[in-house]
């Protein structure tokens, strides 16, 4: 018998702990399999292009283009996408930009997304294997090298984890590119 009333053996306690350990390990394994399956696999490709602004020759228009590809088995919903343009010699100078169609949150100084203002706009949804392209435009001083940092926030539908994808690229002046 497993437990006799009044007589508990050390082997009985050992069996009880083994059952508890087996159940705990099973629950942990199932939880990790479920959350791993629900993880978003997204790739991000960034391109920049600069041209002298026609309105002011001392400025350049900086176009930032991102290609987002959903590599996961399920859908992926993009909640937000923003970029920061950082002056390379002087990292105190920052220009904040937004991608067209993804204006739902704002980037903070810490390069994180601020969840203080939520939006009721729908997500930009992506199916399995689908690629989406988003662009943003800002004006920067001419003949200065910039670092462009991109932050993209999204989630798997019915998931409870948000995924944040970050990337950066160096943008050289148009005078050096020619």
Report the pLDDT averaged over residues 83-106: 75
pTM for the model stands at 0.66
Rounded mean pLDDT of 76-96?
Answer: 82
High-pLDDT (> 90) share of the chain, %: 22
DSSP structure string for 109-140: TTS-EE-SS---SPPEEE-TT-EEEEEEEEEE
Averaged pLDDT, 149-173? 83
CATH of the domain at 154: 2.60.40.1470
Averaged pLDDT, 8-19: 86
What is the structure's pLDDT at 117?
A: 45
State pLDDT tens for residues 124-158.
778 888 888 889 999 999 888 999 999 888 887 76
* pLDDT for 61: 93
Most confidently modeled of 19-28, 32-41, 156-165?
19-28
Same domain, 20 and 75: no
Tell me: do 113 and 163 sit in the same domain. yes
Q: By C-alpha distance, which of 39, 83, 41 is closest to 171?
A: 83
What is the domain range of residue 31?
Answer: 1-37
**pLDDT tens per residue, range 111-123:** 555 444 444 445 7
Confidence of residue 79 (pLDDT cuts 50, 70, 90): confident
* 8 A C-beta contact, residue 163 and residue 88: no
Residues 53 and 131 in one domain: yes
Mean pLDDT taken over the chain? 79
- The answer to whether residues 104 and 127 belong to one domain is yes
User: Is the domain of 50 the same as that of 89?
Assistant: yes
Residue pair 154/81 in contact by the 8 Å Cβ criterion: no
């Amino acid at each position: 018998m497993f437990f006799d009333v009044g007589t508990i053996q050390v082997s009985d306690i050992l069996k009880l702990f083994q059952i508890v350990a087996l159940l705990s390990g099973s629950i942990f394994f199932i939880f990790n399999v479920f959350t791993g399956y629900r993880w978003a696999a997204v790739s991000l490709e960034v391109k920049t292009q600069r041209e002298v602004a026609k309105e002011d020759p001392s400025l350049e228009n900086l176009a930032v283009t991102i290609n987002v590809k959903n590599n996961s088995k399920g859908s992926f919903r993009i909640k937000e996408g923003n970029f920061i343009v950082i002056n390379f010699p002087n990292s105190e100078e920052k220009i904040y930009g937004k991608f067209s169609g993804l204006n739902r949150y704002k980037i903070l100084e810490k390069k994180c997304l601020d969840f203080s203002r939520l939006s009721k706009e729908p997500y930009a949804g992506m199916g399995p294997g689908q690629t989406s392209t988003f662009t943003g435009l800002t004006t920067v001083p001419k003949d200065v090298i910039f670092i462009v940092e991109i932050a993209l926030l999204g989630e798997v539908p019915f998931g409870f984890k948000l995924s944040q994808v970050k990337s950066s690229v160096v943008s050289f002046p148009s005078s050096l590119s020619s």
